[in-house]
Amino acid sequence: MTIDHDTFRSVLAQWPSGVSVVTTAVPDGWHGMTASSFSSVSLDPPLILVCLNRRIHTHRLIETSGVFAVSILAKDQTMIGRRFAGQEAGVTDRFAGSPWQTRVTGAPVLTDAVGWMDCRVVHAHEGGDHTIFVGHVVAASTERVVAPLLFHSRAWGQLADVLPEEVTVADSGLLPALRSHVVAENAAAELATALRAAGVRVRVRDPHGGLVTTGDPATAAALVDSPDEVADAALGGAGVLEVPVGEPTLAKRILDEARRYDMRVTCWLPDAFVPDRASAVLAAVDALAGLGCDEIGLDEGAHAASPRQVRALLQDATVRSRPVPLRVRLRDRHGLGLVNALTAMKSGVRHFDATLGGLDGALACEDVLFLADRLGVACGSPRAALVGAAASLEQHLGGALPGRTYRVLP
């Protein structure tokens, strides 16, 4: 039985793959093509293979030169993939406009690809109308930690969004919000205790003062900006330190001091979603992950973020921070707070900082849990307890809260 070519190609198109550009060098210059038929062969020695149609020009050049390089494209490099696939009309130099360099063999590599490998051909096997070139990898590098470009069903794409299995909320805004509303300290302590009893981590101390509450130290956080404040925070019952990141050396000193008291540390980056700060924020994420933070926090801050901006940053940041988890603090501006939270969840974020009732303009803790519940995502804290605490807060303030769902029963 012989299968027809269209059916065969249609079936193969259902297999999703990464996208690479295979390049080589000959005396008259560089040449390359987009290819998805690339695979690893061996770790020792390091071998990979590419399968190329014998009728194409690049095949003949690799056969002659005996060298090739593979550059694995990132999610934002679709245009490079299209250009080397011959899908961009009028292109005379496929290498123009992108950072291509040579390493060992002379074959060019894309220096801002997800990764690249420079190879010498050690075997060439016939495979029907293709040749299977096996290359010995003589140089390789992972240049960017970012999601890869994918190809499926003859279309370009990227990894699908997957909701987390569970989300958690912490309240880092209640203490200053109650202070600004002149709520009595005993009432503030009762609210914090109720949240902590529900498993919500609460910032109970900052440089302006603190609350006396009891409970698991893991649910009590303290905001500090000096190593000298760490001991008092630990003695006050806090098990988590929150550090606003300014000068990296200072953050490292606070981290070292926190380890003396076996405290977890979250390092916060302000105004994280401002578009022209993306490179600096990602560099800071790299640095903080290297310092040994237990969590890295991204605070929306004073500049309103759009879902697109949240998505653009988090897709890279969640990959680059691993295995250190990310935590985000979002505001509820222009009705986009929960949209941004959903975007963050679908970008790999599981931990959210919010404020009971949305009292300070941040997302409300109970709203985040409402969203998670409607999405079928498990919550680390019972929403009913937070709704009850929000009702108590409303009574203390004598007016409605900014939160959207605290009157919606669980």
CA–CA gap between residue 193 and residue 5 (Å, rounded): 68
- Name the domain count of the chain: 2
Question: Does residue 221 belong to any structural domain of this protein?
Answer: yes
- Amino acid in the structure at residue 147: A
User: CA nearest 71: which of 101, 104, 28, 27?
Assistant: 101
Whether residues 142 and 245 fall in one domain: no
DSSP state of 219: G
- Please say if the pLDDT value at position 1 is more than 80: no
Average pLDDT over residues 17-22: 94
Instruction: Assess if residue 92 is contained within a domain.
Output: yes
Same domain, residue pair 203 and 117: no
Within this chain, do residues 35 and 114 fall inside the same structural domain, yes or no? yes
Q: How confident is the model at residue 245 (pLDDT cuts 50, 70, 90)?
A: confident
CATH number at residue 392: 3.20.20.70
User: Which range of residues forms the domain containing residue 215?
Assistant: 166-397
327-336 pLDDT, tens digit per residue, is 999 999 988 9
Whole-model pTM: value is 0.74
b/e per residue 380-401 (b: at least 16 CB within 10 A): bbebebbbbbbeebbeebeeeb
- Domain membership of residue 12 (yes or no) is no
- Give the integer Cα–Cα distance in Å for 251 and 291: 9
| Contact indicator for 190, 384 with CB cutoff of 8 Å | no
User: Quick check: is 403 in a domain?
Assistant: no
Assess whether the previous peptide bond of 323 is cis (omega < 30° from 0). yes
Task: Check whether residue 172 and residue 140 sit in a common domain.
Answer: no
Rounded CA-CA distance 201/221 in Å is 7
Total residues belonging to the chain? 410
Query: Among 138, 157, 176, which residue terminates a domain?
Result: 157
Do both 200 and 276 map to the same domain? yes
pLDDT digits (tens, 9 = 90+) for 258-303: 999 999 999 999 999 999 999 999 999 999 999 989 999 999 999 9
Confidence tier at 200 by pLDDT (50, 70, 90)? very high
Q: Is position 256 within any domain?
A: yes
Is 402 inside any structural domain? no
Q: Residues 220, 117: one domain?
A: no
- Whether residue 362 contacts residue 173, with contact meaning beta carbons closer than 8 Å, is answered with yes
- Cis geometry, peptide bond prior to residue 45 (ω within 30 degrees of 0): yes
Q: How many CB atoms lie within 10 A of CB 85?
A: 17
Asked if pLDDT for residue 246 goes beyond 90, the answer is: no
Residue 236 CB contacts under 8 Å (≥ 6 apart), including other chains: 204, 205, 210, 220, 222
Residue ending a domain, among 157, 178, 193, is: 157
* Residues facing 352 on adjacent strands: 169, 328
Residue 155 makes CB contacts below 8 A (sequence gap 6+) with: none
Question: Does residue 373 fall inside a structural domain?
Answer: yes
CATH value at residue 92: 2.30.110.10
Inform me whether the pLDDT recorded for 160 exceeds 70. no
Three-class secondary structure of residue 404 per DSSP: coil
Inside any domain, residue 9: no
pLDDT at 410: 63
